[in-house]
Amino acid sequence: MTSTIPLLIDTDPGVDDALALLMAFNDARHSLVGLTVTAGNVGLQYTVANTLKLCEIARVQAPVFAGCDSPLLHPARDAAYVHGRDGFGDTGYEPTDRRVEDEHAALAIIRLSHEHAGRLLLVALGPLTNIALALKLDPTLPQRIARFVVMGGAVSAHGNITAAAEFNIAFDPEAAHIVFAAFPKIELVDWEAVLAHGLLHERVDAWLRADSPRARFYDSISRQTRAWSAERRGEKWHSADALAMAHALVPAGTLKVVERPLAVELDGRHTRGATVVDWQRQHGGADNVAIVMRYEQRRFEQLIEAALAVV
Partner whose binding site includes residue 166, from ligand BDR, Ca ion, none (CB under 5 to 8 Å by kind): ligand BDR
d(CA 212, CA 30): 22
Residue 66: phi and psi, rounded to 5, are -85, 140
For 242-264, b/e burial (b = at least 16 CB within 10 A) is bbbbbbbbbeebbeebeebbbbb
Q: Which residues contact 2 (CB under 8 A, 6 or more apart)?
A: none
257: enclosing H helix or E strand: strand 254-260
Residue 17 interacts with ligand BDR (CB under 6 A): yes or no: yes
Residue 10 interacts with Ca ion (CB under 5 A): yes or no: no
d(CA 38, CA 22): 18
Q: Which of 158, 197, 238, 283 is catalytic?
A: 238
CB count in 10 Å sphere of residue 288? 19
Of the candidate residues 10, 17, 78, 190, the single one contacting Ca ion (CB under 5 A) = 17
Of the candidate residues 36, 51, 168, 222, the single one contacting ligand BDR (CB under 6 A) = 168
Q: Is 238 a catalytic residue?
A: yes
Nearer CB in complex with ligand BDR: 107/169: 169
Of the candidate residues 125, 132, 179, 291, the single one contacting Ca ion (CB under 5 A) = 125
In the complex, the smallest distance separating the C-beta of residue 15 from ligand BDR, rounded to whole angstroms, is 7
Radius of gyration of the chain (CA): 18
Residue 27 interacts with Ca ion (CB under 5 A): yes or no: no
Interface of this chain with ligand BDR, residues 246 to 305, rule: CB under 6 A: none
CB 69 within 8 A of CB 42: no
Nearer CB in complex with Ca ion: 149/210: 149
Binding part of the chain for ligand BDR, among 9-17, 49-57, 69-77, 90-98 by CB under 6 A, reads 9-17
Interface of this chain with ligand BDR, residues 113 to 132, rule: CB under 6 A: 125-126
d(CA 175, CA 44): 17
Instruction: Note the residues at the interface with ligand BDR (CB under 6 A).
Output: 14, 16-17, 41, 79, 82, 125-126, 151, 160, 166-168, 191, 240-241
